[in-house]
Amino acid sequence: MKFDSVEGLFANTDQLKGKIKEKVESSKEIGLIANELNIDTLVLSHILYWGSNDLSILKDVKESFSGNIIVASDSLVINQ
């Protein structure tokens, strides 16, 4: 199964299976929810990677969210 773009992947998640489908759908959904709530900065924590990494998670979320995104790590301190 091959998709020409991330948009194409998101439009055809019905063709995906198992954990890959869950991961793609949840990454997109996080961005959509953040946009609906008018979030300026989205902090991602407690991530279940399912074979992906920080960069691929960021890329997925950025497809549906245009604000700032921080991938949290242990002992991360966020100053406002």
Mean pLDDT of the chain: 77
Model confidence over 13-50: pLDDT tens digits?
Answer: 778 788 777 666 677 778 887 888 888 998 887 666 66
Encoding tokens for residue 6?
């991330």
pTM of the complete model beyond 0.85: no
DSSP symbols for 10-70: HHTGGG--HHHHHHHHHHHHHHHHHHHTT-SEEEE-S---TT--HHHHHHHHHTT--SEEE
What percent of the chain stands above pLDDT 90? 4
Closest to 10 measured CA to CA, from 52, 61, 66: 61
User: Dihedrals φ, ψ of 74, to 5°?
Assistant: -55, 135
